[in-house]
Chains A and B, each alone.
Chain A
Amino acid sequence: DTGVSQNPRHKITKRGQNVTFRCDPISEHNRLYWYRQTLGQGPEFLTYFQNEAQLEKSRLLSDRFSAERPKGSFSTLEIQRTEQGDSAMYLCASSSQGGKDNEQFFGPGTRLTVL
Chain B
Amino acid sequence: GNSVTQMEGPVTLSEEAFLTINCTYTATGYPSLFWYVQYPGEGLQLLLKATKADDKGSNKGFEATYRKETTSFHLEKGSVQVSDSAVYFCALTPSGGNTPLVFGKGTRLSVIA
Residues of A within 8 A of B (CB): 4, 31, 33, 35, 40-45, 48, 56, 58, 91, 93, 95-97, 99, 101-109
Closest to B91 in A: A42
28 contacts between A and B (CB under 8 A): A4-B43, A31-B98, A33-B101, A40-B105, A40-B106, A41-B105, A41-B106, A42-B106, A43-B89, A43-B101, A43-B103, A45-B100, A45-B102, A48-B100, A56-B100, A93-B101, A96-B98, A97-B98, A101-B49, A101-B51, A102-B34, A102-B96, A102-B97, A103-B46, A104-B101, A106-B43, A108-B42, A109-B43
A42's contact among B51, B97, B100, B103, by CB below 8 Å, is which? Answer: B103
Q: Separation in Å of the A55 CB from the closest CB of chain B?
A: 9
Given A42-B106, A101-B32, A101-B51, A106:B44 Cβ within 8 A: yes
Instruction: State the majority secondary structure of interface residues on A.
Output: loop
Which residue of A is nearest B41, CB measured? A108
Q: Which 5 A-B pairs have CB atoms at the shortest separation, nearest pair first? A: A42-B103, A45-B100, A106-B44, A108-B43, A106-B43
Binding site for A on B (CB under 8 A): 4, 32, 34, 36, 42-46, 49, 51, 89, 91, 93, 96-106
User: How many angstroms between the C-alpha atoms of A104 and B34 in the bound complex?
Assistant: 10
A91 to B96, CA, bound (A): 21
With A42-B91, A43-B103, A44-B103 already in contact, 20 other A-B pairs whose C-beta atoms are closer than 8 Å = A4-B43, A35-B101, A41-B106, A42-B89, A42-B103, A42-B106, A43-B89, A48-B100, A56-B100, A91-B44, A95-B98, A96-B98, A97-B98, A99-B98, A102-B49, A102-B99, A104-B46, A104-B101, A105-B46, A106-B36
Given A48-B100, A102-B93, A106-B43, are A42 and B105 also a contact pair (CB < 8 Å)? yes
**Complex-state Cα separation, A96 to B98, whole angstroms:** 8
Q: B101 contacts which chain A residues (CB < 8 A)?
A: 33, 35, 43, 45, 93, 102, 104
Question: Which A-chain residue is minimally distant from B105 (CB atoms)?
Answer: A42
Contact call B49/A103, Cβ cutoff below 8 A: yes
Report the separation of the CA atoms of residues A97 and B98 in the bound assembly, to the nearest whole angstrom. Answer: 6
